[in-house]
A and B are shown apart, each in its own frame.
Chain A
Amino acid sequence: MLLISAYKWIKKHILIIASALLMLVHLYMVFIFVPTDANQGIIQRIFYIHVPLAWIGFFAFFVTLIGGVMFLWKRDFKWDRLASASAEIGLIFISLMLLNGCIWAKPMWGVWWVWTARLTLSLVLWFIYAAYFIIRAYISEDGQRARFAAVVGIIGFLNVPLVFLAVQLWETQHQGYLIFEGGMVPEMTWTLMAGIVAYTVLYVLLLKDRLVLKNLENKLNQMKNFITGG
């Protein structure tokens, strides 16, 4: 009896449990398991958080693109809810990634901000998806908001490869900063992989909960409309 209810509890909370465990494992790997980098020293450990944060940002915006395309095609508002929920999470992760970049830059180069390709690209993305939410706020009609947001989500993501190419080339032209690249020992690769898995699970968890909340908001609005006779 107890076993069954425990099983049910775990099944219901599987994502949050998995996410918590993976995060702990990842932290252990970052601070204890992985060897210290020879060139950058201890500060290089931030890399194992920096990259997964960036990865989730990009992945979330990719989901926003898919949600946008599906909304324009099917005109079902569940796709718009998916797109905007994912963009919210993406924007938070990209913001964290930029902050994280600042923390990395200060001890490395003595300044809070460096125009590395990765940070510049993320900054541009931050602006695009900030605009995504500003536009959503400026439109009061649901259908129009969803259509316009879908367009911004599509055009914004199509821009990623171009911005990437441009900032890469720009970095090489303007004497790039020494960034940690290549030369990773297997422990380093494992730690990075663990980070990507842990953060991806966290993303799925956040997305699922945000969608539950958005669906409730939507139901509430439907009821409000019904009561006010709209």
Chain B
Amino acid sequence: MQLLNKAFVIAWKDILSETRAREIISSVLVFAVLVIVIFNFAFSGSQQEMRALAPGILWVTFSFAGVLSLNRSFIQEKEEGCLEGLMICPVSREAIYLGKMMSSLFFMLLIEAIVLPAFVLFFNVNVITLPIITLTLLATIGFVAVGTLFSALAVNTRAREMVLPILFFPIISPVIISAVSASELTLNGAPWSELASWVGIIAAFDVIFLTASYLIFGFIVEE
């Protein structure tokens, strides 16, 4: 419980900092809506066609938004050596991972909660349904589980902004494949039972990479 308690303290610090500076949410939100608009230009088609393209566009938007906001997660820790400040605190490395993961999860979910209605507005495809919200929640957990680990890795390399996407996208490919396919199915009216295997893959991804990243994080930050 001490671990979770400290993780919450770290996450709360990030959230408080974000309410002051609004560095992540506002810019990522504008970016996400821009992506949707650009896709609209790229694929302007009939109602029918847009319906077929909608799941792909939605998940490309989410993963782009994810990589952008995760990139910021550790950049602020690098300014003024704050990550070292965290590491000298009497908490485990795992608490730092959990804290950073929770704040990224919070930011991502907030962004997605705004992007989904915007998506309905622009594409006239109802994506605010229980299956899609469930998929979004599960996929986002997977995104931030590996994203937090890789974000910590990326800020320590020479090309910070480049490293995260080239690592992040191939690793989350099973989540993207599953989320897009499941969204397609549910938009075409398929019941829960048909989504089960896709949801299972995403859930397995979450469990495996939350555990692995949690155990491995210390090796990234501690020399």
Contacts and interface: CB of A to CB of B under 8 A. Distances in A.
Question: In the complex, are there CB atoms of A and B closer than 8 Å?
Answer: yes
Contact of B159 (A138, A158, A162): A138
A140 B212 contact: no
A72 B216 CA distance: 9
Contacts, number: 90
If over half of B's interface residues share one DSSP class (helix, strand or loop), that class is named, otherwise mixed; here it is helix
A155 B223 CA distance: 19
B30 interface: no
A144 B158 CA distance: 12
Contacts of B178: 166, 169
Contacts of A148: 153, 156-157, 220
A105 B208 CA distance: 34
Please report whether the interface of chain A is mostly helix, strand, loop or mixed according to DSSP: helix
A166 B158 contact: no
Interface in B175-218: 177-178, 181, 197-198, 201, 204-205, 208-209, 212-213, 216
B81 interface: no
Interface stretch (B49-57, B63-71, B128-136, B163-171): B163-171
A155 B166 contact: no
How many interface residues does chain A have, given as a range?
20 to 34
Interface string A170-186: 10010000000000000
A150 interface: yes
B117 interface: no
Contact of B201 (A72, A158, A169): A169
Nearest to B146: A155
Contacts of A155: 146, 149, 171, 209, 212-213, 216
Interface string B54-84: 0000000000000000000000000000000
Nearest to B215: A154
A163 interface: yes
A35 interface: no
15 contacts: A124-B170, A131-B167, A135-B157, A135-B167, A138-B158, A138-B163, A139-B156, A151-B149, A151-B219, A155-B212, A156-B170, A162-B208, A169-B197, A170-B177, A170-B181
| Pairs of residues from A and B, 3 with the lowest C-beta to C-beta distance, nearest first | A127-B170, A166-B174, A162-B174
